[in-house]
Structure 1
Amino acid sequence: MIDCLHRLHRLLCPLAVVFFLSAGLAAGVAAQPAPTTAAPAAAMAPRVLACTVCHGKEGRATPDGYFPRIAGKPAGYLANQLLNFRDGRRSYPQMTYLIEHLTDDYLREMAEHFAALDLPYPPPPPPQAPPAVLEQGRRLVQQGDVARNVPACVACHGAAMTGVAPSIPGLLGLPRDYLNSQLGAWKTGQRRAHAPDCMADIARQLTPEEVSAVSAWLAAQPVAAGGKPARTLPAAMPARCGGVADVPVAGR
């Protein structure tokens, strides 16, 4: 029954997006602000109603598990993802339809609106994997696998895994299904980022079992510090990643 409801939500959500588009983003397309002015939060909220149909009230996410939280994510990261959807580096037709005619500046205003929302995270769900699998996921997240040149997740996403401003996302507070699907999309090339696409390189090194273990462990962790991204990483990143050129890289 639950699986049936999940499938129904995924089918109905795009239809609801199209309905709300007329009251939300469509108004923004016709009245995009000049690049030098930023829309106040009160003015921006009704323009992004279409986003909240799938991503939940104020972008908090929904219990469904397939649409991630966007509230409080780093503005640079959200802007990059909107640009990736619009320009074809990420593939989800409903997202592309919503934003394909929006300018870079308007997408950045949308990103800044959601990034500025300071909303509490709910407690994580109970672990969805056996202890041995969770331990495998923990090791990969916190230590990586040096023998295969797989860096620890914390080396880029921060010790608390809440991300790093302005462009590195947090990994906590996300559903296991979503984490699984995104790592799988990087492995198969369905999700891409600006070159060098470091996440694609890392994901291709992981087995399906390791992807599942990492996702299960991350999804079971509480979100520290209100989920706010760190200002800096404690050390240089282990590899160069597109979209985060301002972050120092080890040995370079």
Structure 2
Amino acid sequence: MKHFIFIILLFFTSLAKAAEALSVNVPDTLAERVKACAICHGAEDRHSRDAYYPRIAGKLEGYLFNQLRHFRDGRRYYQPMAILLENMSDEYLQEIARYFAALDLPYPSPESVTLLPSEANLAEKLVYSGDLKRNIPACSACHGKNLMGTAPFVPGLLGLHSTYLTAQLGGWHSGGLIRGKIANCMADIAKQLTYEEINAVSKWLTTQPVSGKPANQLSPEMAQRCASIVSENGDAR
């Protein structure tokens, strides 16, 4: 509760400063309007690695647009985001997504965490090979060989804090709390993972350098798998 109040106070402080700045003719541009996003996600002109707020600069436009709609419509729950977005149209959310997707900011250096050889081996196996016996596909099958995502909706996994990654995987594992266009895929996969595996994969990912671009499309096998899940559960947007 204290964390939520702190975020809201920061937001309204930002609005007050923005209103004060109007007296000096601040341009009414999208870049100015999205500065409220910098309260949590970091300012536009620097890169940030807060443990609980992910980097959104350079993420795929389709992915960002979907997540903004999920927060606004209650499909992905985080109250401060829901409040900020509740009156925004799809068109405006698309503009915001396009703006952040176009930002080309440097990524932070890999995180320094203690990763045992056994953890690294376990993580690499799951990331690049998966576990067919448990119907767990490789992370790279959806997120791309270089783990930078797959257009248009699958996000990259690198350049994020291990705490954030652990929280997201844990959320899916404990009940599929996050729902996206193909989020039921992630819920099904995460529920098969042990907490040891979640921690190992999260730590391993955050120690990897960021390089390369998102893949153009899912493999035919994964596209068919996700399509079948969406068909079974309806439009999961």
Superposition TM-score tier, normalisation by shorter sequence: 0.7 to 0.9
- Shifted more, 117-126 versus 106-115: the winner is 117-126
Separation (CA, whole Å) in 2 of partners of 1:194 and 1:17: 29
Separation (CA, whole Å) in 2 of partners of 1:190 and 1:196: 10
Of 20, 29, 32, which residue of structure 1 is paired with 2:14?
20
Output one character per residue of 1:63-104: Cα deviation in whole Å (capped at 9) or x when no partner: 331100000000000000001111111111000010011011
1:229 equivalenced with 2:214 (yes/no): yes
Inter-CA distance 205–117: structure 2 relative to 1 (3 Å threshold): same
- Indicate if the aligned counterparts of 2:63 and 2:155 stay in contact, CA closer than 8 A: yes
More helix by share: 2
SS in 2 for 1:186: helix
Output one character per residue of 1:200-241: Cα deviation in whole Å (capped at 9) or x when no partner: 11111111111111101101100012xx32223465426215
Inter-CA distance 196–116: structure 2 relative to 1 (3 Å threshold): closer
Separation (CA, whole Å) in 2 of partners of 1:59 and 1:92: 25
> What's the offset of the Cα at 1:196?
6.6
1:189 equivalenced with 2:176 (yes/no): yes
Of 162, 165, 171, which residue of structure 2 is paired with 1:179?
165
1:167 equivalenced with 2:175 (yes/no): no
Separation (CA, whole Å) in 1 of partners of 2:227 and 2:202: 21
- Indicate if the aligned counterparts of 1:186 and 1:203 stay in contact, CA closer than 8 A: yes
- Indicate if the aligned counterparts of 1:145 and 1:151 stay in contact, CA closer than 8 A: yes
Of 96, 102, 105, which residue of structure 2 is paired with 1:116?
102
Separation (CA, whole Å) in 2 of partners of 1:108 and 1:73: 13
1:75 equivalenced with 2:61 (yes/no): yes
1:205 equivalenced with 2:195 (yes/no): no
Which 5+ residue runs of structure 1 have no aligned equivalent? 1-6, 25-41, 246-252
> What's the offset of the Cα at 1:175?
0.4
1:72 counterpart letter in structure 2: G
1:16 counterpart letter in structure 2: L
Inter-CA distance 193–181: structure 2 relative to 1 (3 Å threshold): same
- Residue identity (%): 49
Separation (CA, whole Å) in 2 of partners of 1:207 and 1:50: 37
1:129 equivalenced with 2:108 (yes/no): no
Separation (CA, whole Å) in 2 of partners of 1:208 and 1:17: 35
What's the counterpart of residue 66 of structure 1? Answer: 52
SS in 2 for 1:53: helix
How many pairs are equivalent?
220
2:172 counterpart letter in structure 1: W
Inter-CA distance 84–60: structure 2 relative to 1 (3 Å threshold): farther
Output one character per residue of 1:89-129: Cα deviation in whole Å (capped at 9) or x when no partner: 11110000100110111111100000001111121112333
TM-score (norm 1): 0.79
What's the counterpart of residue 234 of structure 2? Answer: none
Inter-CA distance 202–135: structure 2 relative to 1 (3 Å threshold): same
2:156 counterpart letter in structure 1: G
Which 5+ residue runs of structure 2 have no aligned equivalent? 19-27, 232-237
